[in-house]
Amino acid sequence: MKSKRHHLGPKRASSLSSAPMRSEINVTPLVDVVLVLLIIFMVVTPMISRGVKVTLPETLHHTKKQDTGEQIVVGVTKDGKAYVGVDRADGDALITLLRKEMGGNSSREVHVKADRDLEYGQVREILERIHAAGAAKVSLGTEDKREGGKK
C-alpha cells in the first residue's frame, strides 16, 4: 500500500502568514494595584499621629478637630520634656523653635499633647512659653472617654 503524501503547494504556503504583532500594554492590572495602594494609604494615614507618643487625658464629650497638618504639635512627655513635632525644645528653646515654626504667622494653631501624668503646673509653664512665642490659638489634646468606663 502506498501512502499518500500531501505536499503544500506554493499557493497554500503563502496563505499561512503570521498574524501581525500587537505592541499594546494592558494597564488594567496596573490600575488595580494603584487603587489598592490608594485605599491602603487612605485608611492608614489618619492613624498616624504627629509628634511624640504621649498618653493623653480622657474627657467626655470633647470636640474633635480634624488634623489638617497646619497645626504645630507640641508634645510634653510625662517627665516634663517638651517637643515641637519630634524636635526636643526645653526652656527658652521652645519659644525660639515655635517662633521659627510659625514664621511670623501668629494665627497658626498650636496643638498641645501633654501626658496625663503631668501636674497642671508643668503644663501651665509650657502654655506660658507658647503664648510668649506669640501663638494666638492653642488647643489641648485629649482622648475620648467612653461612658462605660472602658475605651
What is residue 149's predicted lDDT score, i.e. its pLDDT? Answer: 52
Quick check: is 14 in a domain? no
Task: Say if residues 124 and 130 touch (Cβ distance below 8 Å).
Answer: no
Task: Say if residues 86 and 77 touch (Cβ distance below 8 Å).
Answer: no
Q: What is the pTM (predicted TM-score) of this model?
A: 0.61
Quick check: is 30 in a domain? no
| Structure-model confidence comparison of residues 148 and 76, the more confident one | 76
Interval 38-92: pLDDT, tens:
999 888 776 666 777 887 888 887 777 777 778 888 888 888 888 888 788 888 8
What is residue 151's predicted lDDT score, i.e. its pLDDT? Answer: 47
Interval 85-127: pLDDT, tens:
878 888 888 888 888 888 877 778 888 888 888 888 888 998 9
Quick check: is 90 in a domain? yes
H helix runs in 16-65, sequence order: 28-44
Quick check: is 151 in a domain? no
Quick check: is 101 in a domain? yes
Which domain range does residue 139 map to? 50-144
Quick check: is 132 in a domain? yes
What is residue 48's predicted lDDT score, i.e. its pLDDT? Answer: 66
Confidence of residue 31 (pLDDT cuts 50, 70, 90): very high
Quick check: is 56 in a domain? yes
Domain count, the chain: 1
Quick check: is 41 in a domain? no
Residue pointed to by grid coordinates 498650636: 110
Give the separation between CA 151 and CA 147, rounded to whole angstroms.
9
Query: By C-alpha distance, which of 112, 113, 114, 110 is closest to 137?
Result: 110
Spatial CB neighbours of 117, under 8 Å, sequence gap ≥ 6: 55, 78
All cell numbers assigned to 16: 499561512
CA distances, 134 to each of 8, 125, 131 (Å):
94, 15, 5
Q: What CATH number should be reported for the domain holding residue 73? A: 3.30.420.270
Task: Say if residues 82 and 127 touch (Cβ distance below 8 Å).
Answer: no
